[in-house]
Structure 1
Amino acid sequence: MPVDGRVARGDVTRKLVLRRAVDVASVDGLDGLSLGRLATELELSKSGVFALFGSKEDLQLATVEAAFEIFRSHVVTPSLDVAPGLPRLRAICENWLVYSEKRVFPGGCFFFNVGAEFDARPGRVHDAVASASGSFATFIRSTAAEAVNLGHLDVDAEVLAFELHALGRAANADSVLTGTTTPYAVARRAIQAHLAEKP
């Protein structure tokens, strides 16, 4: 069955708007988004953009979802191609640092920024951000547990996962604030020390 041309154009426009939205939100926060702003910046019809998203909250929720897909494609999916246990855990950490260091989002890690923005604000957007961030934390934790179960490491997997997560977040925050890449080098050394193989 042929695809309706208007539907196809709407999908293209939606993707274009969301790609711009994730970049804006990584710098200005999800509250910095507006349908009018995005339409103007992308030189699109305001009415056309408004038709794609029912409200600012719907735009914010779609932006969180789009950002998580981008994050997953850079960090999670490539890690799954690596052998389970310690090799995969190392890959997760390195992919995450590269994603942040290369500024896939101009404001650094999207979820670090919007997490700080919405951490104490209940509602649908908070829940979406918490769910995305939480799923990544769970992925680190389950991979750390796998490394312990396989005999690659002799540590408390939950504590290790927490420390690795903290190191990645600290590297991102310090680098964005200082405009240097030094925090990533320090984080890599710390992660290497944490992931030294069991003697």
Structure 2
Amino acid sequence: MVLVRADGRVERGNQTRRTVLGRAVQIASVEGLEGLSLGRLATELGLSKSGVFALFGSKEELQLATVRAAVAVYVDHVLRPTRSVPPGLRRVWRLCEAWTAYSRERVFRGGCFFYAATAEFDARSGKVHDALASAQTGWVTFVEQTIDEARAAGELAPDTDVRQLAFEVIAFLELANAESVLQNNNLGYDKAARSILGRLRRAATDPTLLPDTPHQPDSPMA
């Protein structure tokens, strides 16, 4: 009986943590990680302030937990769909489609969580900066590996500069996200997709592995 009660408390604590972080990532994507506070989250969610403080302990710990929660969401919406396609050029294009959908569909209300958070902390030092830098390094490495797999499979030219191509792909995606958030429209996604597709087709050994034109949904911004 004691064990059952203890397990119940642990599960309630875990559920509360998930609830708090679910709200925190959305707030941070719009207002920044500095916009988070334990008291605010407790009030908005109708939770005990002491209980929320017990879960995180400090604002910095809340920020770090929020970054980790955002990474998990990013993995679900971008990395896993990409990995569902066999290595090669089609996987590279799937990566671009998955990232575009993640930003365009506002998985985070403020667009790409990491684009916003990195701009907020890039010139700072400390644990939150380091966590964001690590997340960005992981993302860049994933893009580079995905492109390198396509080169190894013979679907990109042997002399393809993997790092340069990854940099360009990421730059186009992030600019589309920034334009969409700022201008409240979807025009940048189509421009980015066309630019990336053209770049990939020029590097491809068999351009027919890629679509002739990017397909983007026509739904307007809310």
TM range (shorter): over 0.9
Unmatched 5+ stretches in structure 2: 207-222
| Deviation (angstroms), 1:134 | 1.1
- Per-residue deviation at 1:160? 0.5
Which residue of structure 2 lines up, in the alignment, with residue 183 of structure 1? 188
**Is the partner of 1:151 in helix, strand or coil?**
coil
Q: State the match for 2:68 in structure 1.
A: 65
Say whether 1:142 aligns with 2:145.
yes
In structure 1, which of residues 166, 169, 173 is the aligned counterpart of residue 174 of structure 2? 169
- Report deviation, 1:146: 1.5
Q: Distance in 1 between matches of 2:25 and 2:106?
A: 12
TM score, norm. by length of structure 2? 0.87
Instruction: Tell me what 1:54 maps to.
Output: 57
In our comparison, the structure showing a higher alpha carbon Rg is 2
- Displacement over 6 Å in runs of 4+: none
* Cα distance, 1:24 vs structure 2: 0.3
Instruction: Supply the distance in 2 between the matched residues of 1:34 and 1:190 (Cα, whole angstroms).
Output: 40
The one-letter amino acid paired with 1:75 is: V
Aligned counterpart, 1:89: 92
Task: Give, in whole Å, the separation in 1 of the partners of 2:149 and 2:87.
Answer: 7
Secondary structure (helix, strand or coil) at the match of 1:4 reads helix
**Superposed displacement of residue 158, structure 1:** 1.1
Q: What residue number does 1:111 align with?
A: 114
CA distance in 1, matches of 2:190, 2:13: 43
Provide the aligned length of Structure 1 versus Structure 2.
199
Distance 1:156 1:8 in 2: 48
Using the size of structure 1 for normalisation, the TM-score is 0.97
Structure 1 unaligned runs (5+)? Answer: none
Quote the offset at 1:16 in angstroms.
Answer: 0.1
Q: Which amino acid aligns with 1:195?
A: L
Counterpart amino acid of residue 20 in structure 2: V
